[in-house]
Structure formats: C-alpha cells, structure tokens
Amino acid sequence: MKTIEKHPMIMIIIGVIGISLSSIFVKYSSAPSSVTAAYRLLWAVLLMTPAALCKRDIRTEMARMGRRSFLLSALSGLFLALHFWTWFESLQHTSVASSTTIVCTEVIWVSLGYWLFLKGRLSGKAVGAIAVTLLGSVMIALADSKAQGTHLYGDLLALLAAVAVAVYVLIGKAMRSNLSTTAYTYVVYSACAAALVIISAAQGQNLFAYGPSAVVVGLLLAVFSTILGHSIFSWCLKYFSPSFVSASKLCEPVAASILAGFLFGETPVPLQVLGGVLIIGGVLYYSRIEKTGGEA
C-alpha cells in the first residue's frame, strides 16, 4: 500500500482500464438502462459490504459520521445515479464513440464547478482549453444530427450524464478530506443503488424480468467499472485535484471506440472524429496546464 501511495498514478491507470469496459458491457445488456444501472450498484454494494462492515474502524467511522457528512454523501450518490441512468440510456440512442467522448466533458463541468463553488481559479489558458473542448462537443452533435434515428437525443443525455458526474466528483473532493474511501463510497453507492431501484420501480420496470444477462452485466460493471473504476478514482481524489482525476479518464473514449468498432461495427464519421480529437486534445491540454503548475 505504501508503494501505491508513493505512486498513485498506478491507481489512475487501473481506474482507466476499468471504466473503459463500461460502455461495452452496457451494450450487451437486454434490460432497460435504469435496471442495468441498478444491478451494477446493487452488486457493488454487496461486494463492498464485507470490507465496510467487517472492519471495526470502518463501522466506527460510519457510525460517527455527522448528519452533514451523511447527507452530502447521499446527495453525491443521487447524482451518481443520475449519471449512470442518463449515460446508459444515451448508449441506446447514439454510438459508443459519441457517448463516451461527450461524457468526458465532465472535466469542464468539474472545472467550472471548482471555480464557482470551491473557490478554485481558472487561468486564461484553462478557459481556452474549455472553449476548444466545448467546440468538439458541438461538432459531434452536428455530425449526429445528420444521422438517422435519435443520435442527437443520445448526445444530450450523455451531456447531462457528464454534468451529473461532475457534481458527484466535486462533492467527493469535499468529503474525502474527512472520510476514508471505503466509508465514503459505501454510503454513496448505497444511496445510488436505492435511487436507481426507485427510478426503475417508478418506470414500471421489474428487476427480475430480464433474465440472467442483466445480472451478469451488472456484476461485470460492478467489478471492473465501479470497484476497479469509480472507487479507485474516489481514492485518487486524496492525492490529485478533481480536475486531474476527471482528465485522466480521457483514455476511455479511445479504447471504448476501438472495441465498439470491432464488436458492434460502429465506425465514426470524420466530423465525429474531429470533434473527439478536439475534446480529448482540449482536456489533455487542460491537465497539462494543471500539472505544470498553471492556475486552473
């Protein structure tokens, strides 16, 4: 553990691999988006329960968690539920390339939120990087608006998912200074799972009506994309700024798009590729500004 704490970038790499598989697993689910997301979080809570409840220090920490800390952690879980629901739904309407790339604009919303609510600062270079990234999102939307079907609707859902997960990251940054990763994520995932079950019920969806594929996909998402993905990124918030943690996820659309091309025959059009390049380039430039000590 000491080695990992000295080199936390190891955990960033593991987290990126985990989340890159997420959109691929979702594509294989035959269940509605809210049901798939609910299974993902229910599995995550179940798998985390031994670590959360069998250790005295974690039980003590959660028992002593103040009302404010608990409510903020639960609120973080609600925004994470909104993220999963809208993003999974976006994958039913648009391509993996468009959806995952637009979701990666999360870093822009994190940066703006960091500036507005956590008294962070944005330099002129950071504002330029944000503008380039948003231009890339507009180009992807223009490309998808010309395609048949509901691609543009899927893009809008992906954008909403990006904003929702940005709020989740910002709350996590505030909470991780006082709570351990296990205690924080257990409360967050429990609240998230409960919210997704309620959403599914409100939509009239039966969690047990979609066969074993939904259960298996949920388990794969829980292991690879939640525990080896989001939980690791929550841990990394103790060592990196929320903007850098978000920027590190930019490998996801590249890897996911390549896999989707082989598995689903999804080939992005030139305008989508150009928009994706602008988004990834803009966010990489933003992360470089932060890494070199520039104010972001």
Q: Is pLDDT above 50 for 2?
A: yes
Per-residue model confidence as pLDDT tens digits over 61-79: 888 888 888 898 899 999 9
- Asked if residue 63 belongs to a domain, the reply is yes
- 53, two tokens: 């409840």
- Asked if residue 56 belongs to a domain, the reply is yes
- Asked if residue 7 belongs to a domain, the reply is no
Whether the CA torsion 171, 135, 283, 261 is positive or negative: it is positive
For every residue of 219-231, DSSP letters joined together read: HHIIIIIIIIIIH
pLDDT for 148: 67
Q: How confident is the model at residue 3 (pLDDT cuts 50, 70, 90)?
A: low
Per-residue model confidence as pLDDT tens digits over 260-289: 888 888 777 888 888 888 888 887 777 777
Per-residue model confidence as pLDDT tens digits over 117-162: 766 677 777 778 878 887 888 888 777 776 667 788 998 999 999 9
b/e per residue, 93-108, with b = 16+ CB within 10 A? bbbbbbbbbbbbbbbb
pLDDT for 134: 79
pLDDT for 115: 77
- Asked if residue 9 belongs to a domain, the reply is no
- Asked if residue 190 belongs to a domain, the reply is yes
pLDDT for 296: 42
- Asked if residue 2 belongs to a domain, the reply is no
Residue with token string 């520039």: 294
- 30, two tokens: 């035959």
- Asked if residue 51 belongs to a domain, the reply is yes
Per-residue model confidence as pLDDT tens digits over 230-258: 778 878 877 877 767 766 777 777 778 87
Q: How confident is the model at residue 83 (pLDDT cuts 50, 70, 90)?
A: very high
Cα–Cα dist 296/290, whole Å: 6
b/e per residue, 51-61, with b = 16+ CB within 10 A? ebeeeeebeeb
pLDDT for 295: 46
Phi, then psi, of 7 in degrees rounded to 5: -130, 70
Q: Which domain holds residue 256?
A: 18-291
pLDDT for 123: 74
Residues in contact with 168: Cβ distance below 8 Å, sequence separation at least 6, in sequence order: 76, 79, 80, 83, 188
Cα–Cα dist 253/239, whole Å: 24
Per-residue model confidence as pLDDT tens digits over 167-218: 998 888 777 667 787 888 889 999 999 999 999 999 999 898 888 888 999 9
Q: Which amino acid is at 228?
A: L
The number of folded domains in the chain is 1
- Asked if residue 92 belongs to a domain, the reply is yes
pTM over 0.85: no
